[in-house]
Amino acid sequence: MAPAFMVSAPGKVIVFGEHAVVHGKAALAAAISLRSYLLVTTLSKSHRTITLNFRDLGLNHTWDIDTLPWNVFHQPSKKKFYYDLVTELDPELVDAIQPHLEPVSRHLPEDQRKIHVRSASSFLYLFLSLGSPQSPGAIYTLRSTIPTGAGLGSSASVCVCLSAALLLQIRTLAGPHPDQPPEEAETQIERINRWAFVGEMCIHGNPSGVDNTVASGGKAVIFKRPDYLKPSIVIPIPQFPELPLLLVDTRQSRSTMTEVAKVGELKKAHPVVTESILNAIDQVTCSAQRLLEEPDFVGDSKETLAHFGTLIRINHGFLVSLGVSHPRLERIRELVDYADMGWTKLTGAGGGGCAMTLLRPDIQPEVVRDLEQKLDSEGFTKYETTLGGRGIGVLYPAVLRTGSDEEGGVEIDQQKFENAEGPEGIEELVGVGYHEHREGWKFWERAT
């Protein structure tokens, strides 16, 4: 029986270019150190079931492997192989899994149940595409430190985890290992990314492909979609530096569709002015890209931070002009500016959601404490994170080594993983960045 193993993928923020990207301009998105973690526990041969246990969502459902619609997925005209590029869902395959989604979380109100059903559909579509009737029974337990519905790519992070786990189970991924040639690592990342995109289509219908690309390869990407009838143009930026970031959730719900429509209406009413603002946002993204591509670029220099910081401030000003900020977002910016801790902008659709602050170096601890107290007292939730970190990682087997070989390591079993309390507990138990000296996690790395 295969040992339990774990995979992990990051969330993301849009650093530059939100809203402009909807109108065919460039945007830059980067990985953050908030992550999803998926534990795969293989069952004995007599157990012919698969269980999806998304603990933090309250989703827990089991299917009988032998009753799944293999006959439809394995028709010669329908069968996909792990190396195939799938750019759209097959309506017949989508229909075939519907009866298996009907029993999922029936007891919940429809708006909550919808989230569970989309997650389950993503999992089943991938499992049936990549697996076989002989696939072993398994429990897929997911925990995440990424807040949902905040524009931080939580669903793509999950899809990347599912894609990597299923590809590992069918033994079509090699590595990651220190001697892996960069082109081989690139192929593996792209394979994970392609199938994660299929999962994202099950959840979002017509995703840009940005979130899953960042979650797969980490670091950052430049992307644009000048023609909505064609796929997005996505360019990885493996030289993107790791930078200190403060994320603050306004806890103000918002609708991406509403905010996008707002800019569309503004463009109708003031076409020339709005187009000028969108072009200016595009130039902000291009300025960041030019800096990153300079041959003598130094990622952690004060000059780099100041350059990015200025662009962040400018970008936010343009987004305010488009009417997509919110008093809660402006309050965060006001508090951070008053403390002189860094450069702040909204990230994502705006109208609520999150603000991101690129932190200045050498901030005094008492200044940080004071800001934290103010944010807390006004009902904001903060996350200290890092921008531009690693992408998909694997812990195989699910054992974290903490010292010498004689000491062995900590086995991450189902119970320990489920009982971890909140984001802090998850990070402490399995977090990829929690202890630098903990061995075990390995990552596929894009060539720089």
User: Active-site residues: which are they?
Assistant: 211
Residue that has been written with the tokens 């939100």 in this structure: 18
On whether the CB atoms of residues 220 and 214 are closer than 8 A, the answer is: yes
Phi–psi pair at 60, nearest 5 degrees: -145, 110
Query: How buried is 194 (Cβ within 10 angstroms: 0-12 exposed, 13-18 middle, 19+ buried)?
Result: buried
On whether the CB atoms of residues 444 and 167 are closer than 8 A, the answer is: no
On whether the CB atoms of residues 324 and 346 are closer than 8 A, the answer is: yes
In b/e form, how buried is each residue of 403-431, taking b as 16+ CB within 10 angstroms?
Answer: eeeeeebbebeeeebeebeebebbbebbb
d(CA 272, CA 372): 41
d(CA 391, CA 359): 22
Residue that has been written with the tokens 């157990």 in this structure: 47
d(CA 446, CA 408): 31
Q: Which SS3 state, helix, strand or coil, does residue 220 take?
A: strand
d(CA 170, CA 168): 5
On whether the CB atoms of residues 181 and 37 are closer than 8 A, the answer is: no
Cis (ω within 30 of 0) for the bond into 91?
Answer: no
On whether the CB atoms of residues 359 and 367 are closer than 8 A, the answer is: no
State the Cα angle at 148 between 430 and 205, rounded to 5°: 115
CA atoms within 13 A on the CB side of 118: 17
Total residues found in the chain within this entry = 448
What count of other Cβ atoms lies within 10 Å of the Cβ of residue 101?
Answer: 17
d(CA 236, CA 5): 28
d(CA 131, CA 434): 33
Question: Which tokens in the block code for residue 373?
Answer: 């107290």
d(CA 131, CA 427): 30
